[in-house]
Chains A and B, each alone.
Chain A
Amino acid sequence: MTGTLSHPDASNLIARDDAHTSVVWPLLSGTARLVLVTGAAGIGRTALLNEVRDTLEHQRVRTADVPLLRADRNRPQAVVARVREELDRWSRPPVLFLDDLQRLNHDVLRALLDALPYLATCVVASYRTPVRLEHTDLADALETSPLTEIVPLSPLNRSEVSLMFTSLLNVSADPELVRRLHQDSRGVPGLVDLAVDGYLRGGALRIIDRTAYLVEEPRGTGHRHPAVERIRLLGEAAWRTAKAMAILHPLGPAAEELLGDTGALPELEAEGILVRRDDGWRFRAPVLANALAASLGPYERHDLGWRAVSAIWDGRAFCANPGYLPDRLIDAGGFADAEKAATQLLAAGRAAVLHDPAARRWLRAAADRATNPAQQAEALFMHAVACASHNDFVSAMASVDAALELPDEFTPDQTQEVHLIRLVGMCAAGDRAGLRKVADGSWRSLPGGTAARFIGRAVAMCYTDRWDEAAKLLASTRNTWRLGNAATVTFGEIFGMSAALMTGRMAEFERVVSDPGLCPLYAVERHRPALQAAMARCLLLLGEAKRGARMLAGQPLTEADLALLGGAEGRWDDALGHARKALVTGSTLGQVAAHTALARDLATMLVTRAKLTRAREVIADARVGQNVLPHVLDVAESDLELVLGARDKSRQVLQRGLAFAAHHAIVIGTDELELRLAMMSLEDDDREDAEFRVERLADIAETMDTGRAHRNHLLARAVTWHDKSAVAEVRRLVAERGQPHEIALTLTALASHGLGDAQTLREAYELFGTMDALLPRAVVRHLMREHGVAVPGRAATTAEQERLLASLVAEGLTNRELAGVLRTTEKSVEAKLTRLFQRTGYRSRVELATAMLTGEYR
């Protein structure tokens, strides 16, 4: 709905069922005269009161709302008159609703409470905590009054915050996001809403596979949210003080002094916005500080920034957080001395370049404010590095371009690195035309010497899938670039090795892997983990999980590595989480092997877990943007089509992948495609083609000599020729490799071709169970029934069948598609659906889908 904003009544009422009952019950049973709902601002008192009114009206209990306004503190008689008028209007007095009792002054509130026993009706009221000083005596009296029921509302816990998030945005939240949200908002629903609003408007959220992730550091936006408007309504002085404190409070005791006029602080404390601690003032919830800081006017921001900066420079104030001063330097803008500011910003950025995303803005500001070219060049270079390490390649490229205008200020190493950032950025942004130009050498002459140019061209070739050309170029110019600087040699070796690998030349790969010292940067601590990971990921792409894991042992693993390893080792719940996170943060951009492998693994896992639509989305996402080695994705896509019963389409996809690989002289990944084609041909009784594929697989296995290639070859040979020795061999091989999904698939394939026994099927069934692979489980169950093998756990099986059906329905499949996937008739699907809805109580597919998403239905 455009331009409209409703107060989120519904979402404020998360986890308030008990409180609702505690309010309504005394009213209906007549045990209390006054029900008082208490809690901090934004906790949802008004929403609860509204809900209670609706309930009462529904029960045909008449209610009346007497508004208590901010101005009523100064006109006590008005409130009394309003209450009286409301009571006089009806023959039978209605239940009175008085929201925000804290707005009344002491005498009126006392009068009201005193009158309670004589009223002919009940009162539902709310009071915002903390209790105002003047009301202390009344609060004590109420606590002990038998006619009064007090219902305190408490903040939400973490899982309730998660639930609220899901009901707001209709997507589930990553645990890290929930933790942050809970911490920022302290579990107060109104502030959760404010925080989510800020994340959304600030573009800090990214959603992948129906899960939201926090990808940027959340900062407030100037949007006028009710939670902030409430502070504005406290009056000019309080509003200004609150905004100023948002900037100054990290300075602790010094903040009060810098503030100047501290008159409004007590009011803000009474309103529950600020909290006084031993070491100064704090905001009740961090999100408030962010939102208030974003509401600052430009001058206020400059002024406060400059006050903080000058205090710190003079030694009058101190902040332990190293990020505080640089941010205030940015705020202070032209008020602070440019030279000193640029130097400090650059220093702060340099110190935080790889680990703190904030370094990007400090370095950007440093570049803007630099007073000499050397300083500017350094700031631009560091900014590019910082952006690249946080996968913000668009900004990185802008700085690279600016930096390349100052060529004299850089060392050859830096120039090479900067240029590589540019190429990675182009790859990440999907700028294939630009890369092609670099690869063809027709683009503007690359920076650096001849050696660097060769590397640049080769990298561009790799990023446009011209691996073979790249390998040849690097091999033929090796004598030139081996004499280059450390960065040039390192990139030359790394890309030479990857390019050789893609075209099936394992020897070249092994040469570098066995002697990483060939890459000079390997000796540098900052670069070593990245280089090691790059090699390991190549192995993971090839399906060599054990070797990859060994290589990665002992160093901190990224999300992408965790996902790839988890997927191979059958820990799919973890793997899915890591994979989503890796893709959403873009951590594999520029890492072509890891990126494509990740998308393939994620899609495969989703397909087997019956999340078909999501799998399709993941594949489609991977194909736009950084689309390198697309034939690897074809494996997952063909599986997906096959599940949906589109055999022809599935075959076309496989053939397309093979054609692509052949065209680019790529070998890796083709064994997977060939194996699937061989199996399909066998099922279609096209033995000739199947036998041809087996020969091809034999060739590939010989060239690549990897476990996965051998397994694919042996499996194809086993099912095509019913070769007993191959069967034994492949079973031994997969057992040794120890990848549960691979083992289960192999066993299923063997069994479905009559090469297994009851034990084989049971083993596959259990393995798929550990991965919660719903679809293959259903397939294996079919096979078991066909072979007369008993399926264990009858009740559990029914539940699982139902869950599969529910998943598929939630994915938006039509009845016909459901029939296709479940290998049954539409009629039978209808019957099953009816049973499902009856049993679960959901009324529509949409309700069911939502329930799946929120985890309500499992």
Chain B
Amino acid sequence: MQELLRGRHGELAALRAAFEASASRGRLAVVRGEPGSGRSELLRHATAMWRAEGVAVVSHRPRSRAVVLVDDADQLHDPVLTTTAMRMPGCLVVAVCRDHAELAEVADVVIDMSTLSPEVVTELITTRRPLDHSVVEALRTALGPLYGNPGTVLATLGELNLTPVGDLLFLADDRISLPGNHPLLDHVHGLAYRVALLCVVRQGIEVSDLTLLKEDLDACGRALDELVERGVLTPDLDVLCPALANAIADRGGEDAVRRMHVALAAESADPDLVALAGPDLPDAPRRARWLADRAAEIQGTDPERAGRWLAAALRMTQDRPCGRLFFLTLSVLIATGQDELMGTVLKERVHEDSSTDAAAMLLMLNGEQPPINGGPAVALARWWLGERPDWTPLPMTTHDDEQVITNAELNAIYHALRFDVQACRTALRFVRDEDARECFDELTEAGTAGDVATVLELVLGQRYRTPDHGPLKLYQRVLRDYANADFTAALQGVRQLELTKRPTPAHHHGRMLAAAMHSARGEHRQAFAWLAKVSHATRYAPTRALVECGLLHRAGDSQAAVNLAWRTLQRAKRADIRPGVGRLMLQALQIALRNNDMAIARTLMTEITELHRQDDCRCTLQVLLLAKGLLYGDPAEAARGAEVVRRRGHRPDLLWACHILAQFCDDPRHVVRELRAIAKEGGSSFLLPARVSALMRKFGVHAPRATTGPSGLTGTELRIVELVRAGQTNRQIATELDVSEKAVEHHLTRLFLRTGVRSRVELAAASLAGRLDDRGATG
């Protein structure tokens, strides 16, 4: 029975002890806690506990040994008199209240409801709804200390906008705010509201900042102390948690916030305040110039802040457009990845030039829709988004510093994304960032994977930073996790990608990657589900076919796989689509060889050689070497190929290379070397497909084992941990692993026992933190 109420054993024990002590002399126990801390829930369980023990639990004056429960005692007319009068021998009075000093004074026992531990709350909410880990994390960050108050967590969760993706719920909106009727907000009225809003707007204040409100200082001070006393503000004068700050801002609406900004900025020489108020200031145009100058001063040390000030300055000069300020602002915003501000600036702007064109392109690439017709840069973005059939490269000049993005850079981006290696190399020569030329191979690899963020970062160097939100960053992260073979994180990333607004190529690439990952694990159902969502446009055909081939081959239909590959290759050739072609050819070659279809294999080899001759880069070299190894049975070439892969540090590709190397079993030196390399780099999240593990066993290489990572867990157990981390239920895990639900339960029980964790949530948390260890039940 008590197991139902987790995290409250201390309080229950205290109540029980108080009752034991009430035999000779009646006792009054006061349970003190904030609303939502679970006081009534505690009483309910205590009642059940006592009833189960045969103790009368009543709500009026009792005759013999009994417990009297008074919920919400502070609502009574005279709580002290009422509760003390009922205190008589044999009787325990339990009164529940918020914070009642006089009641606490007369009490025999005061039980303070402690905040629940985060693990308990996490378990509480995840058992009710299938929340993704990201939602739990976001709630925890937004609620801060309030995360220990179950009532608040549930109420906040109830108002959240959640969307299902797959089997899990994700946040549809990043902003989390407390429900408007939360008890803490009861204290935020009148002057206290202005003080609290000041604290929200300034993100924490000093006492001397109260003068900014230009009200009676003493009254403001009292309001401030009251807010601290009530727990709305922390003793360091910051709002208790982000969700509360949002709720305070919501209360007055945007207008109130704006009025506060203006009030603060008026007559102030603090650029931060002026920038916050921005165009709402009555004398905005007059101060714009001043603000821009201040921004120039700090641009070197704090570019993000400079960007905010510049954007404000720009918006403050609404009527008198000034090209130079415009260029400066947008280049700083682009270099600091402040997408939202860029969108605001563009929205209010009628004027268009090459700077707005470039900014609009970047916004479009990241899934936004800026209200600008644009020039060549926007056209490039439209091509990438599939809204235009093609794009024509621009004439290039060497140095053009008054451009946010030069023609050469646009060309380089275009060619990289098309995987036109020679043209890209040429364009790079005219690019401003010197380092860009050094990372040619990385650039082409990013291009063929459709990783726009990395392409932009490499081509533009210091002049660009990928915004923290949006499909570009997400997809880049997916690719990074995939390269590290952290499939769980990568798949979670793909699911998050699905939540972003309109589908971009990043989505399709992500889906194909997800299909590939499921396919590698032998989860065909999920692989097909992801593939079905991928666009049928020709440009995705080679990569798509790569995954499909693998699936067909594994399903036993190798001939169909080779045919599909061949057809796709012809189609891509006709449409001049290059990304992904090489890998598809290698895959087809591998399958053809296994089918003993030497004719096709030789044709493919010719194509691969031709491809490398035409587009000479690391990608094609890797394919060529591995293909040579396969076709001519040349372990040395294959090993060179594997070496190329290893230098890239791409684990799934390295496994593929190993697989190819393993064909030369009589000379296992190279395989063993590569496998060792894999084993050495193994991390906690690194999970090997079964066939590679088998390979490792065969060559006597120990599977990867990290010092901080899981140790002493079997492959199945690791798999289960991973699925638990992904929020799967026992039934889902059973389906995935193709075992019975009973077996999963059995595995989990053993895992709990061996690792010393007590619940799925703890297990997931421990594995995330790399703490999962065979600590034994005593650990």
- Residues of A at the B interface (CB closer than 8 Å) are 1-7, 50, 53-54, 57-58, 63-65, 67, 69-71, 82, 222, 226, 229-230, 232-233, 297-300, 302-303, 333-335
State whether A299 touches B89 (Cβ < 8 A).
Answer: no
Q: Is the interface of A mostly helix, strand, loop or mixed?
A: helix
Query: Is B560 located at the chain interface by the 8 A CB criterion?
Result: no
The segment out of B110-118, B178-186, B616-624 that lies at the interface is B110-118
Given the interface pairs A3-B11, A5-B112, A302-B208, the reply to whether A297 lies near B224 with Cβ below 8 Å is yes
Query: Could you give 17 example pairs across A and B, Cβ below 8 Å?
Result: A1-B13, A1-B14, A2-B114, A4-B112, A7-B110, A50-B108, A54-B24, A63-B89, A67-B85, A69-B80, A69-B106, A70-B80, A82-B85, A229-B101, A233-B102, A298-B228, A334-B206
Of the listed residues A2, A69, A229, A303, the one surrounded by the most CB atoms of chain B closer than 10 A to its CB is: A2
Identity of the chain B residue whose Cβ is nearest the Cβ of A333 in the assembled complex: B207
> Nearest-CB distance from B80 to chain A (Å)?
5
Known: A4-B111, A333-B207. A57 touches B101 (CB 8 A): no
Whether A7 lies near B235 (C-beta < 8 A) is no
| B11 and A4 contacting across the interface, CB-CB below 8 Å | yes
Known: A57-B25, A298-B224. A226 touches B207 (CB 8 A): no
Contacts of B235 in A (CB 8 A): 222, 298
Q: Which residues of A contact B113 (CB under 8 A)?
A: 3
Asked if A233 contacts B101 (CB within 8 A), the reply is yes
Q: Which B residue sits closest to A67, measured CB to CB?
A: B84
A residues in contact with B89, CB < 8 Å: 57, 63
Of A7, A58, A302, the residue contacting B108 (CB under 8 A) is: A7
C-alpha spacing A648/B114, complex, angstroms: 50
**Given known A3-B114, A53-B25, A232-B101, contact A334–B108 (CB-CB < 8 A):** no
Chain B minimum-CB-distance residue to A97 = B25
Residue contact A302 to B221, C-beta cutoff 8 Å: yes
Are B80 and A4 interface neighbours, CB within 8 A?
no
Q: A1 and B207: CB pair below 8 A?
A: no
Q: Is the CB of B85 within 8 A of A298?
A: no
Please report the C-alpha to C-alpha distance between residue A698 and residue B218 in the assembled complex, in whole angstroms: 81
**Complex: chain A residue closest to B27, CB-CB:** A50
- With the chains together, A233 CA to B101 CA distance in Å? 7
Pick from B81, B87, B88, B237: contact of A69, CB below 8 A.
Answer: B81
Chain B residue, CB-CB nearest to A82: B85
Q: B10 interface residue, CB < 8 Å from A?
A: yes
Indicate whether A300 sits within 8 Å of B25 (C-beta atoms), given known contacts A7-B108, A69-B80, A233-B105. Answer: no
- The winner among A54, A65, A222, A233 for most chain B CB atoms within 10 A is A65
Does A297 lie within 8 Å of B208, measured CB to CB?
no
- Chain A residues near B44: list those with CB within 8 A: none
Q: Across the interface, which residues of A come within 8 angstroms of B14, CB to CB?
A: 1, 4, 6
By beta carbon, the residue of chain A nearest B28 is: A67
A57 to B25, CA, bound (A): 8
Task: Tell me if B208 and A333 are in contact (CB < 8 A).
Answer: yes
Residue numbers in B under 8 Å from A300 (CB-CB): 221, 225
Chain B residues with CB below 8 A from A229, complex form: 101, 104-105
Q: B residues within 8 A CB of A2?
A: 9-11, 114
CB distance from A202 to the nearest CB of B (A): 14
- Flag whether B573 is at the interface (Cβ < 8 A): no
Query: Is B229 at the interface (CB under 8 A from chain A)?
Result: yes
B24 contacts across to A, CB distance below 8 A: 53-54, 57-58
Query: A302 touches which one: B85, B110, B207 (CB < 8 A)?
Result: B207
Cα A6 to Cα B109 with chains together (Å): 5
CB of B105 within 8 A of CB of A299, answer: no
Beyond A298-B228, A335-B208, whether A4 also contacts B10 by CB under 8 A is yes
Q: Could you say which of A3, A64, A65, A298 contacts B237, with CB atoms under 8 Å apart?
A: A298
- Interface presence of B278 (CB below 8 A): no
Q: Are A299 and B110 in contact (CB under 8 A)?
A: no
Residue of A4, A63, A69, A226 with highest tally of chain B CB at under 10 A: A4
Partner of A230, one of B81, B85, B105: B105
Q: Assess the B222–A299 pair: CB atoms within 8 A.
A: yes
Q: Within the assembled complex, what's the spacing in Å between the Cα atoms of A302 and B84?
A: 41
Complex: A4 Cα to B107 Cα, angstroms:
13
B210 CB–A CB distance under 8 Å: yes
The CA of A3 and the CA of B109, in the complex, are separated in Å by: 12
For the complex formed, measure the closest distance between the CB of B219 and the CB atoms of chain A, giving whole angstroms.
Answer: 10
What 9 A-B pairs have minimum CB-CB distances, sorted nearest first? A297-B225, A3-B114, A334-B208, A299-B221, A2-B10, A67-B84, A4-B14, A57-B24, A302-B207
What's the minimum C-beta distance from B187 to chain A, rounded to whole angstroms? 13
A3-B11, A63-B25, A69-B81 known; A299 vs B207 contact (CB < 8 Å)? yes
CB-based contact B206/A70 at 8 Å: no
Nearest CB on A from B94, distance (A): 13
In the assembled complex, B505 has its CB within 8 A of some CB on chain A: no
Please, which residue of chain B has its CB at the minimum distance from the CB of A62?
A: B89
Nearest to A70 among chain B residues (CB) is: B102
Residue among A70, A299, A335 with the most chain B CB within 10 A? Answer: A299
Once bound together, how far apart are the Cα atoms of A724 and B13, in whole Å? Answer: 71
Find out whether the CB atom of A1 lies under 8 angstroms from the CB atom of B10: yes
Q: Which residues in B have their C-beta under 8 angstroms from that of A232?
A: 101
Per the bound structure, the CA–CA distance linking A229 and B104 in Å amounts to 9
Q: In whole angstroms, what is the CA distance A802 to B80 when docked?
A: 54
Shortest B134–chain A CB gap in Å is 30
Q: Which B residues are CB-close (under 8 A) to A53?
A: 24-25
- Is the CB of B641 closer than 8 A to any CB of chain A? no
Closest to B111 in A: A4
Minimum CB–CB distance for A786 against chain B, Å: 45
Q: Is B542 an interface residue (CB 8 A)?
A: no
CA distance A54 to B108 in the complex (A): 13
For residue B158, give the distance in angstroms from its CB to the closest CB of chain A: 26
Write out the residue numbers on chain A whose beta carbons fall within 8 Å of the beta carbon of B78: 71
Interface assignment of B582: CB less than 8 Å from any CB of chain A = no
| Chain B stretch 80-139: residues in CB contact (< 8 A) with chain A | 80-81, 84-85, 87-89, 101-102, 104-114
Q: Are A299 and B114 in touch, CB under 8 angstroms?
A: no
Option from B9, B87, B105, B207 in Cβ contact (under 8 Å) with A334: B207
Chain A residues with CB under 8 A of B229: 297
CB distance from B211 to the nearest CB of A (A): 9
Which residues does chain B contribute within 8 Å of A57, judged by CB atoms? 24-25, 89
B10, A299: Cβ atoms closer than 8 Å: no
Minimum Cβ distance to chain B for residue A320 (Å): 28
Pair A299/B224 contact, Cβ less than 8 Å: yes
Please give the distance in Å from A71's CB to the nearest CB on chain B: 8
B26 CB-CB contact with A under 8 Å: yes
Interchain CA distance A54-B21 in the complex, whole Å? 10
Closest to B85 in A: A67
User: CA separation between A69 and B110, bound complex, in Å?
Assistant: 18
| Cα of A334 to Cα of B210 in the assembled complex, Å | 11
Contact A298 B104 (CB under 8 A): no
- Expressed in whole angstroms, the Cα–Cα distance for A335 and B207 within the complex equals 8
- For B112, what are the chain A residues with a Cβ–Cβ distance below 8 Å? 3-5
Q: Please, which residue of chain B has its CB at the minimum distance from the CB of A302?
A: B207
In the complex, chain B residues whose CB is within 8 Å of the CB of A334: 206-209
Write out the residue numbers on chain B whose beta carbons fall within 8 Å of the beta carbon of A70.
80, 102
Give residues of chain B (1-56) contacting chain A, Cβ–Cβ below 8 Å: 9-11, 13-14, 24-26
Task: Give Cα A70–Cα B225 distance, bound, in whole angstroms.
Answer: 26
Q: Give bound CA distance, A332 to B11, whole Å.
A: 41
- In whole angstroms, what is the CA distance A302 to B222 when docked? 12
The chain A residue sitting closest to B195, CB to CB, is: A299
CB-defined interface of B226-237 with A at 8 Å, one 1/0 digit per residue? 101100000101
A303–B217 alpha-carbon span in the complex (Å): 10
Closest residue on chain A to residue B205 by CB atoms: A298
Alpha-carbon distance between A621 and B530 when the two chains are bound, in angstroms: 58
Residue of B nearest to A336 (CB): B208
**Min CB gap A570→B, angstroms:** 44
A295's closest neighbor in chain B, by CB?
Answer: B229
Question: What is the distance, in angstroms, from B103's C-beta to the closest C-beta of chain A?
Answer: 11
Pick the contact of B106 from A67, A82, A298, A333 — CB < 8 Å?
A67
Q: How far is the CB of B37 from chain A (nearest CB, A)?
A: 10
User: In the docked arrangement, what's the CA distance between A335 and B217, Å?
Assistant: 12
* Chain B nearest Cβ from A456, distance in angstroms: 31
Find out whether the CB atom of B10 lies under 8 angstroms from the CB atom of A3. yes
